Chains A and B, each alone.
Chain A
Amino acid sequence: MRLKKGIALILTMLLTGSILMAGCSTAAKTSVTTAEPTAAATKTDNTSAVTESTKAAASDDSLAKVKSAGVLVLGLDSAFPPMGFLNDKNEIVGFDIDLAKEVTKRMGITLKLQPIDWSSNILELNSGNIDCIWNGFSISEERKAEVNFTDAYMQNRQVVIVRGDSNIKTLADMAGKTLCLQAGSSAADALASNASFKSSLKSVVELSDNVTAFMELEGKTSDAILMDEIVAAYYITQNAKDYKILDESLADEQYGVGFRLADQTLRDEVNNQLKAMAADGTLAKISNTWFGKDVTVIK
């Protein structure tokens, strides 16, 4: 009797398990189908990237693959207002999202938003899980070696933000103070290339995202944040915070959309669409909605 109970228990477990697995394998099939086009794209892209062959137009079918799949997968850190974040209806919105929606509309395909961990962004791109990184992605020489950027579409500076009542007015005043920033961001790169400034600081705190950085500032566990001016201005306005942005900036940089190194045709298509949008005024219109002025730089 007791043995039968035990066996019945084990059988029920296995039965429940197989039912759950059956349910999940149906779900897995649908996701695998959508993943296949990108996975197939990876096979071609990886071979060309690994052998470091020049981007021969003949073997570059990135645009064709995306068009036949009918979808462009955009990877983003969905906690980066105003470029890409959740609104209070839990939809992903943002300046970059609006740009991407317009571009894909003109290309005749749909846009799929894939939240990723920002520190794995290039990894996700190269493994084919996403087709592009479009999230306030700053162009830099190191990143250019791994990513195929479009032309710059927006100007940005790395700036230092302090509390309103702080007596820090210049970068020199930051000596002996605590600075925080987002790990893996271009703020971190800017700091690394500014050795004298970095060594003057008491400590540098690396956080997972910019909102945590603002909490550090608010809670006085950090004296200043180093981050993108665009994001800082947005946050300060939206939350009506008494924070100040120092005049001196650490690095001037530009945002671009990042593609796999071998995906030249895809990158060119998106680039052309952005140019067209600049020419007919759509780009300026979207910029006005978000920033009250035209901050775009694409010609």
Chain B
Amino acid sequence: MLSAINYSSMISFLLDGTVKAVELFFLTIVLSLPLGLLVARLRMIKFKAVQLPVKFYLLIMRGTPLILQLMFFMYFPPLVLGFGVDRFMVAVFSFTINYAAYFAEIFRGGIESIPVGQQEAAYVLGLSQFQTFIRITVPQVVKRIIPTVAGESMTLVKDTALASIIGVTELFRNAGSLKATYSSVIPFAVAGLFYLIMNSVVAAFYSRVEKKLNYYKG
């Protein structure tokens, strides 16, 4: 049992973990990007009543460790509120609201970098605030923030390892279990390789998106 490594079963177990990590990644990205955009927009509204809660949310999410947030959302509901929660859903939820906070600030930076003159021009041309935002501002913002979003995505791929703290059987945890089975660090080395492969795909994807959006200069 604690002996020579059965490579095919090790790889298959690590692949199971990789699939979990990939699922976590996609769900988080798909949910947190729109949420981040929404939060960014809310953050820019002039009402204190809207701004203060949003600022508070951003502070908490970015100011406390993600690993602690995961533990909080996993154990607070059953112990204090009295209902059970599914591990994987907790991970998706926690990652989503955490990354949405980071994306919100990234979006806001991008939005505020668009010259105000464009808004004035759009107003003169008869476009509503909403139309201006969706059809003029956002496409330009997307192009500008691609490098930063790419970086955050790569961080997310690695952050999926944190879900192991609440028992999600993703890549890092599976590597850890295998380490006990074979008394070897080789599973970790292979896991590291898998993370690298995942992130290479992510990097290549964003590189393509950047090229496609480069249909004009500036």
Contact = CB atoms under 8 A, between A and B. Distances in A.
A86 B165 CA distance: 19
A273 B95 CA distance: 43
B35 to A, nearest CB: 11
A128 interface: yes
Contact of A28 (B2, B6, B74, B89): B89
B84 A129 contact: yes
B177 A115 contact: yes
B128 to A, nearest CB: 15
Interface of A: 2-3, 6-7, 9, 13-14, 16-17, 20-21, 24, 28, 31-32, 35-36, 38-39, 42-43, 46, 78-81, 85-90, 93, 114-117, 120, 123-124, 126-129, 208-212, 214-215, 235, 238-239
Contact of A127 (B3, B78, B215): B78
A39 to B, nearest CB: 3
Dominant SS among interface residues on chain A: helix
B19 interface: no
A39 B87 CA distance: 13
A187 to B, nearest CB: 16
Contacts of B45: none
Given A85-B180, A90-B9, A93-B1, 11 more contacts: A2-B139, A13-B30, A14-B34, A28-B88, A43-B83, A86-B178, A88-B10, A88-B181, A120-B75, A123-B79, A126-B79
Contacts of A24: 23, 27, 92
B166 A117 contact: yes
Contacts, number: 137
- Sorted from nearest, which 7 A-B pairs have the closest CB atoms? A39-B84, A127-B78, A79-B180, A17-B30, A88-B6, A238-B2, A6-B139
Nearest to A44: B82
B138 interface: yes
Contacts of B79: 46, 123, 126-127
Contacts of A211: 179-180, 183
B164 interface: yes
Given A14-B34, A78-B177, A79-B177, A87 B166 contact: no
B147 interface: no
